[in-house]
Amino acid sequence: MTSYALYLGCIGPLRYPDIENSIRLTFKELGIELVDMEGATCCPAPGAGFKNFDELAALTVSARNISIAEELGLDVMTFCGGCQGSLNWANKLLQSDPERKSRVNEILSEMGREYRGTAKVKHLVEVVYEDIGVDRIKKIANDRLEGFKVAVHYGCHVLRPYRVEELDDPEKPHMLDDLVKAWGAESLEFPEKHTCCGAGGGLFANDRDLSLSIMRKKMVQIKELEADMLIDICPFCHMQFDLGQMQLREKGEDFSTPVFYYNQVLALLMGFDRNKVAFIENTPRDDVIRRILATERA
Amino acid sequence: MEVIELKNADRTLPQRVKEFGGIDLLACYQCGTCSSDCPVGTEFFFRIRRIMRKAALGLSEQVLPAKDIWCCTTCFTCFDRCPQDAKPTDVILALRRVAAREGYTPQASRNTSANITKFGHAVPSLEEIEKKREAMGLPARPPTAATYPEAIREIQLIVKKRGIAEIIRFNWEKMELEG
Ligand code: SF4
Ligand code: SF4
């Protein structure tokens, strides 16, 4: 059986645990074992928190997290762009830089830990694409979402910097598009498709208005295309779109595109109870969930 | 037109930026690719190309106290597209590190680091969410630092070793930020 150490991060388990559960349930059913990383912490984020103040502190926190997976003898699977960005950056930098690695291990040894550099760090989208595969998703979905218009959002740190992630072409990625098309749905093209959600780098908290205006530009196009839903693969981007649209509504604007993490819709298509996989939201999803569930009988 | 007196410039700034991770600052030849692709620049007068130049010229008084360096979302678009591989995102992070050591740190950024120090997570666990977790059959708290206090102590050791508490002005007795 394929197994990964499941790295949870912060926003997923502590704000949108329905995303976490949708991942746990779908992976279990699809035969991929996810082993908990007990005592893992914040990754820490690529442009918020410790990384703003001290590179070695950020590297040490990441290395500590990765060392938990190393002890399990497993590669890490993240499901957040920010976590992926932080952990993969730290892992690759430390694997190639013995001096930094020994400075990190000097601190880790005081807590009885050691970072070896033996594990890989993969984002969920890679695992779904490579280990589960588009064909398997196609069989599950059976074209049920034909006629649904989907706006996909990869999130910056899943793809960039390319020399760290080396996953999909950051200028024209295809993995998430393919995985959405595998449901039978249409993946929309629009000018701001690959623009940042505006939440990263600490901007979400540092300047909420500016952060929202970056998101708004994207949402205007998604709304014009009458997308049935926005699909993301990062709980932090997810929070930006879900909560952010509510905040725009509070300012009198009309933005209400339903937002899902990829596995939430996959879980619905696999027959999991909505109340276990997609029920925490600030922007209502009832209508589109009803339409998704109605396709079962069609 | 604004005249910049370079004789008053802070000659140490480019060196400090390099020390704190912006190692290729001086490779920048001011083509403007970064600014034209920046998601923040279209919404606010934030020009990463200008910041690159100002940092190289040592205009510390203009760069370090301003909010601009804290507005980058670290999307890494400029990082990937810069024809000179000057790594503008790394320069931004380095400038934040230099600015923080001079006392210029936005409250929100200090808060995030204080949270990681207190909880091991960027955000605390909330009772309301814990109930929702339980309703789905998950443990109230995830099997992370939210469940294992020794993990938080390990993070605090890293904070102490690296002087983060001093930079963000975190009071260990009160377990809160000062001011
Ligand atoms: S893209 Fe690179 S070389 Fe061009 S202005 Fe920006 S940092 Fe300088
Ligand atoms: S990394 Fe920062 S400066 Fe560069 S394009 Fe993104 S937001 Fe702009």
B1: pLDDT strictly greater than 90: no
Q: What is the pLDDT of residue A181?
A: 98
SS3 B132: helix
Q: How far is B160 from chain A (nearest CA, A)?
A: 10
Burial of A256 (0-12, 13-18, 19+ CB in 10 A): middle
| CATH code at A133-294 | 3.40.50.11810
Q: How far is B84 from chain A (nearest CA, A)?
A: 15
Would you call A202 and B152 a contact, using CB atoms and an 8 Å cutoff? Answer: no
- What one-character-per-residue DSSP string does A113-162 give? ----S---EEEHHHHIIIII-HHHHHHHHTTTTTT-EEEEE--HHHH-SH
Tens of pLDDT, residues B18-69:
999 999 999 999 999 999 999 999 888 899 999 999 999 999 999 999 999 9
Q: Record the pTM.
A: 0.97
Is any atom of ligand 1 closer than 6 Å to the C-beta of B82?
yes
SS3 A59: helix
pLDDT band at A39 (very low <50, low <70, confident <90, very high): very high
Would you call A41 and B116 a contact, using CB atoms and an 8 Å cutoff? Answer: yes
* Sign of the dihedral through C-alpha A36, A38, A43, A48: positive
Q: How far is A147 from chain B (nearest CA, A)?
A: 31
A164: pLDDT strictly greater than 60: yes
Tens of pLDDT, residues A251-297:
999 999 999 999 999 999 999 999 999 999 999 999 999 999 999 86
The two tokens of residue A273 are 């109870």
* Short-list A61, A47, A55, A101, CA closest to B23: A55
The two tokens of residue B113 are 């680091």
B3: pLDDT strictly greater than 90: no
* Dist CA A86 CA A160 (whole Å): 11
Question: Cβ contacts (< 8 Å) between A39 and chain B: which residues?
Answer: 143-145, 147-148, 150-151, 154
Q: What is the pLDDT of residue A1?
A: 83
Tens of pLDDT, residues B106-143:
999 999 999 999 999 999 999 999 999 999 999 999 99
Q: What is the pLDDT of residue B2?
A: 75
Tens of pLDDT, residues A15-28:
999 999 999 999 99
* Dist CA A74 CA A88 (whole Å): 15
A36: pLDDT strictly greater than 80: yes
Count chain A–chain B contacts defined by CB atoms under 8 A: 222
* Short-list A13, A11, A41, CA closest to B145: A41
What mean pLDDT comes out for the span B4-11? 87
* Dist CA B35 CA B22 (whole Å): 17
Would you call A207 and B143 a contact, using CB atoms and an 8 Å cutoff? Answer: no
The domains of chain A are located at 2-123, 133-294
| CATH code at A2-123 | 1.20.1050.140
Question: Cβ contacts (< 8 Å) between B142 and chain A: which residues?
Answer: 8, 13-14, 17, 20
* Short-list A226, A62, A148, A178, CA closest to B116: A62
* Dist CA A78 CA A85 (whole Å): 10
What mean pLDDT comes out for the span A226-237? 98
Question: Cβ contacts (< 8 Å) between B143 and chain A: which residues?
Answer: 8, 36-39
Burial of A293 (0-12, 13-18, 19+ CB in 10 A): middle
Question: Cβ contacts (< 8 Å) between A161 and chain B: which residues?
Answer: 76, 79-80, 89
Beta strand extents in chain B (DSSP E only) = 170-171, 176-177
CA distances from B160 to A90, A101, B115 (A): 20, 19, 15
Query: Which residues, listed in sequence order, are joined to residue B50 by a DSSP beta bridge?
Result: none
Tens of pLDDT, residues A134-144:
999 999 999 99
Q: What is the pLDDT of residue A47?
A: 80
B4: pLDDT strictly greater than 90: no
* Short-list B3, B24, B71, B82, CA closest to B49: B82
* Sign of the dihedral through C-alpha B27, B33, B39, B41: positive
Burial of A133 (0-12, 13-18, 19+ CB in 10 A): middle
Would you call B80 and A170 a contact, using CB atoms and an 8 Å cutoff? Answer: yes
Q: Specify the residue with its C-alpha closest to ligand 2, atom 4.
A: B78
Q: What is the pLDDT of residue A298?
A: 57
The ipTM (two decimal places) reads 0.96
pLDDT band at A14 (very low <50, low <70, confident <90, very high): very high
> What does the DSSP 8-state code read for residue A206?
H
Q: What is the pLDDT of residue A27?
A: 98
CA of A294 to the centre of ligand 2 (A): 42
The mean of the pLDDT values for chain A is: 97
